[in-house]
Amino acid sequence: MNFSFDVIWHNLPYLLAAARWTLLISVAGMAISIIWGVFLCAARISKNPLLSNLAALYISFFRGVPLLVQLLMAYYMLPYVGLDLPAIAAAILAVGLCSAAYTAEILRGALQAIPAGQTEAAHALGIPAFSLWKRILVPQAVRIGLPSLVNELILLVKVSSLASVVGIGELTRISQNITGQTYRPLEIYIAAAAIYFLINLVISGLGRLAEKRLQAG
């Protein structure tokens, strides 16, 4: 099939330049996903029915509507209500807010696995709610949910490719553009896959490291 390494070599700098956008969206999106996900999860399991239902509604919407449509709405429909976000901000927000819905559910599952006796004991000892969360519940939930969280963060890296619909030349988009000019999709896609793989290898490596440390403790 005359596989051409030259084509990969020649276009590698452009692919790597595009991967910087992928990285930026992923890292910023992850921060939003985790922080906002913890709050959402707390709201979802809260005894206050209003909070809990609002969180359920949020999760249903952000998991239900395809991210592609969410992004188009954030970028092309918010201007009609007076909110004109720059493309990169819209991309990061959409990716992060959507991923937070999944993160919240992962944490909720993990929290359920923590024996209820621990919370009861903390209440009995008069430990304030914030310390209960920070010192007792979240560390354990993170340990139990870590592999699923790493799954979600890796999915986030890949889903950042949708940022192309708001005009950001990230890795997948640039690979497709190069393919459109060189007519060598297999070569270019394999190179792009390798870059995604390396990014995700770092994430899953950090995940395994964290897992080991949390289990030792």
Partner 1 sequence: MKKKLIGFAAVVGVSLGLAGAAHADQLADIKAKGKMTAATEMHYAPFDILVDGKYEGICHDLFTEVAKELGVEVEFLDLPWQSILPGLEAGKFDFVNAPVTITAERLKRYNFTLPIGNATVALAKKAGDGSISKPEDIAGKAVGSQKGSAQLEQLKAFSATLNPPADVREYVNIDEALADLAAGRIQAVANSMPLMGYAAVQRPGLFEMVMPPFGDPKYFGWVGTGGEESKTLIAAINDAILKMHEDGRLKAINEKWLGTAPELPTTMPDVK
Partner 2 sequence: MELDLFVRYGPALIRGFGVTILCWAAGSLGGLVLGFVIACLYRWSIAPVRWVIYAYVEVIRGTPFMIQLFILYYGGPYIGLVLSPVQAGILSFIVYGSPYFSEIFRSGFNAVPKGQVEAARCVGMAEATILRRIVLPQMLVPITPPLTNFFIILTKETAILSVVTVPELLYETQTMAAETFTYVEPFLVLSLFYWLMVIGTNWLGGRVEARVTRHLKRA
Interface contacts to partner 2, rule CB under 8 A: 1, 60, 63-69, 72, 102, 105-106, 108-110, 112-113, 116, 143-148, 150-152, 154-155, 158, 161, 172, 185-186, 189-190, 192-193, 196-201, 204, 211, 215
C-alpha to C-alpha distance for 1 and 193, rounded to whole angstroms: 20
Mapped onto helix, strand or coil, the DSSP state of residue 48 is coil
> How many other C-beta atoms can be found within 10 angstroms of the C-beta atom of residue 139?
12
List the single partner that 152 binds among partner 2, partner 1, none, CB under 5 to 8 Å by kind.
partner 2
Q: Is 166 helix (H, G, I), strand (E, B) or coil?
A: helix
Question: Which residue's CB is nearer to partner 1, number 39 or number 76?
Answer: 76
- Return all residues near 26 (Cβ < 8 A) that are at least 6 apart: 95, 153, 156, 157, 160, 199
Using CB under 8 A, which of 30, 154, 166, 171 touches partner 1?
166
Binding-site member from 5, 80, 130, 197 for partner 1 (CB under 8 A): 80
**Minimum CB distance to partner 2 smaller for 133 or for 152:** 152
Closer residue to partner 1 in complex, CB, 139/167: 167
First to last CA, the chain: 53
